[in-house]
Amino acid sequence: MPTQTPTNTAQTPNRLTIIQPDDWHIHLRDGDALATTVPHAAATFNRVICMPNLVPPIKTTQEASAYRERILQALADSDLSPSRKNAFNPRMVLYLTDNTDAKQIAHAHASGVVQAVKLYPAGATTNSAEGVTDLKNCHAVLEALQKYAMPLLVHGEVTHGNVDIFDREACFLDSVLSPLLKDFPELKVVVEHITTADAVEFVMAHGDNVAATITPQHLLFNRNHMLVGGIKPHYYCLPILKRQRHQHALIKAATSGNPKFFLGTDSAPHTTNTKENACGCAGCYSAPIAISLYANAFEQVGALDKLEGFASIFGALFYGLPVNNTHITLIKSPLTIPEHYPYFDNKTLTPLLAGTITTWQIQTDR
């Protein structure tokens, strides 16, 4: 994998300037939701990998292109500055099913719009009912992905009823992903939102064609934060938060300077009322404050000098894209995270750590 030395062009104890970051895993949703989610993402990130698990899912290049146009229209309608609007570049993803035609991969590769294909095991997470039931059904697609060096993005969990929810990632790595990489040794794979020491070890053990994204919630929290003193629905995401030892392994990986690990927020908007009910939706909404949360996590282990590589360089290198040539500055100054954000139909979005104070805030031209 190519490397690039992080710049950290202006680092002091209270100020950090880094290359503009990208988000290699985000959920923007669709329709009226885009009026909120798109400017929240575009205020910080240049490129974003847009998840395709809409209703209905994004299965073809034509559908992906149309979705991208809706995102760009929401961006045009926002009050962001022209410079932010011009910099924002949504990269699209196709939703893999048992019936995906391998010809779609050639179309996607030629489109200049579709960046990757997403594997959701059927039933693994939000809007995954049409996901893959057996990877044997997808061999022609996987051969095409390998041919075109187009990444397969993996939601790494099995969905068998006899596997404990806290063990689903480790089981997936052993029973699904390891055999897959033996069959397709040159396939580019991103193990999304990893949550365990097992996943860190798996990614480290494989070649440069295997990488992983890590979310802010999995760096900052473990399952005690979600469960002790009462269930806290805004910490509930899939894959679910794990033990503290797994959290520590993720922090070590993210701050290691290893280019196999890079930023992917998995920011997932659900209205407050659907999070705070008897069967709350899985997902943490972090897009507006994500880079501040990552800075907090890195500072806690004395690794702010490693943030730029993780947030701004390593993902671009893995995807074979140029590193951004703009910068952002983070200031060490208290920032109160809003209790909620306005959302469509007079609803609200409650962000991760709503109402608390984060140590770092972003200073950008809007």
Q: What is the pLDDT of residues 56-110, one digit of tens each?
A: 999 999 999 999 999 999 999 999 999 999 999 999 999 999 999 999 999 999 9
From the candidates 101, 164, 266, 365, give the one annotated as an active-site residue: 266
Is 258 annotated in a binding site? The answer is no
Residue 267 contacts residue 23 (beta carbons within 8 Å): yes
Give the list of residues 6+ apart from residue 229 with CB closer than 8 angstroms, or none.
Answer: none
- pLDDT tens profile 148-205: 999 999 999 998 889 999 999 999 999 999 999 999 999 999 999 999 999 999 999 9
Domains in the chain (CATH in brackets) are 15-362 (3.20.20.140)
93 beta partners: 116
Q: Is 107 marked as binding a ligand? A: no
Contact of 58 with 93, CB cutoff 8 Å: yes
225 is in an annotated binding site: no
pLDDT class of 241 with cuts at 50, 70, 90:
very high
238 is annotated as contributing to ligand binding: yes
Confidence label for 366 from pLDDT (cuts 50, 70 and 90): very low
Instruction: Establish whether 118 is an annotated binding residue.
Output: yes
- Residue 109 annotated as part of some ligand binding site: no
Q: Given a cut of 80, is residue 126 above it in pLDDT? A: no
Angle between helices 61-77 and 103-111 (to 10 degrees): 30
- DSSP letter at 361? E
Question: What's the number of CA atoms in the CB half-sphere (13 Å) around residue 94?
Answer: 31
153 labelled ligand-binding: no
Residue with tokens 């292109």: 65
**At residue 177, what are phi and psi to the nearest 5 degrees?**
-75, -40
- Residues 6+ away with beta carbon under 8 Å from 214: 193, 194, 250, 253, 254, 261, 262, 263, 264
| 23 in active site | no
**Could you tell me the pLDDT band of residue 11, with boundaries at 50, 70 and 90?**
confident
Does residue 29 carry a pLDDT above 50? yes
Taken in order 41, 47, 53, 57, is the CA torsion positive or negative?
A: positive
- Nearest-angstrom CA–CA distance, 60 and 107: 9
Q: What pLDDT does residue 4 have?
A: 65
| Average pLDDT over the chain, rounded to an integer | 94
